[in-house]
Amino acid sequence: MTNPVTVITGTRKGIGKYLAEHYVAKGHTVIGCSRGDIDWQLSNYEHFMLDVSDEKNVKRLFSTIRKKYGRVDNLINNAGIASMNHSLLTPASTVQKVLSTNVLGTFLFCREAAKLMKKTKYGRMVNFTTIAVPLKLEGEAAYVASKAGVKSLTEVLSREYAEYHITVNAIGPVPIETDLIRAVPKDKIQNLLDRQAIHRFGMFDDVSNVIDFYLKPESSFITGQTLYLGGV
């Protein structure tokens, strides 16, 4: 088998950047994207600058991938934004932004990737939800609603794409020390960690371990699942 072609969204920093490095190291050809430019380079990595919720640009990205690589084996929808505020203090524009990036972005990438994957009758998609969904975390209404949307999307798409031999699964990480949670007060994070079965922050390799499993060709019978880290 030639190098797997893996698309990862939100690779400028944090988990996305780590996953790009992780899968390049595993011999994948990685195509990444983010709204801003990156200040790092990798061999076998190509970067595109786009907003994941911009339908035209997402279509253009996949058309470029089709011409250049001819296929996509794996899609990791990592790009996401959070908004941590009481709902009474959350403006509509914030809700729209969060839903746009997290739900619409995931939807568009799944849809366009599926069009390529159905030709090869093979594909692995991994979406990002969060433990904040089952924990019904206060102060994150927009974020939690968007990630519940991603979970449902994962479940429905797993059924729609099954006949093309594409699996669609999700991972629900616990807090990981990245920019996403930097602004959250320490006691809030501690409360959250206390509600996990294992009371520690998640690490990048906790995330890649789950994704490695979903991406394995042998995981062809695993679809529509959400795996929460930390025992939530």
Q: How far is the CB of 30 from another protein (least distance, A)?
A: 24
Task: Give the interface segment with another protein, choosing from 20-28, 60-68, 134-142, 165-173 (CB under 8 A).
Answer: 60-68
CB of 115 to another protein, least distance (A): 5
Residues 164-223 that bind another protein (CB under 8 A): none
Radius of gyration of the chain from its Cα atoms, rounded to whole angstroms: 17
Candidate residues 26, 47, 60, 195; the one interacting with another protein per rule CB under 8 A? 60
First to last CA, the chain: 37
Q: How many residues bind another protein (CB under 8 A)?
A: 8
Contacts 24+ apart (CB under 8 A), 15-23: 15/78, 15/173, 15/176, 15/178, 15/204, 15/207, 16/78, 16/79, 18/204, 18/207, 18/208, 19/76, 19/78, 19/207, 19/208, 19/211, 20/45, 22/204, 22/208, 23/74
Strands 29-34 and 45-49: parallel
Binder of another protein out of 13, 47, 59, 195 (CB under 8 A) = 59
Q: Which lies closer to another protein via its Cβ, residue 13 or residue 60?
A: 60
Q: How many residues does the chain have?
A: 232
Collect all residues with Cβ–Cβ distance below 8 Å to 68 and sequence separation of at least 6: none
Least distance in angstroms from the C-beta of 81 to another protein: 26
| Euclidean distance between CA atoms 149 and 127, whole angstroms | 11
Task: Find the binder of another protein among 37, 163, 187, 218 (CB under 8 A).
Answer: 163
d(CA 171, CA 227): 5
Q: Which of residues 26, 115, 165, 188 is near another protein by CB under 8 A?
A: 115
Over the window 116 to 155, marking each residue x when it contacts another protein by CB under 8 A and - when it does not, the resulting string is --x-------------------------------------
- CB-nearer residue toward another protein: 86 or 121: 121
Least separation, in Å, of the C-beta of 55 and another protein?
A: 8
Residues forming contacts to another protein in the complex (CB under 8 A) are: 56, 59-60, 63, 66, 115, 118, 163
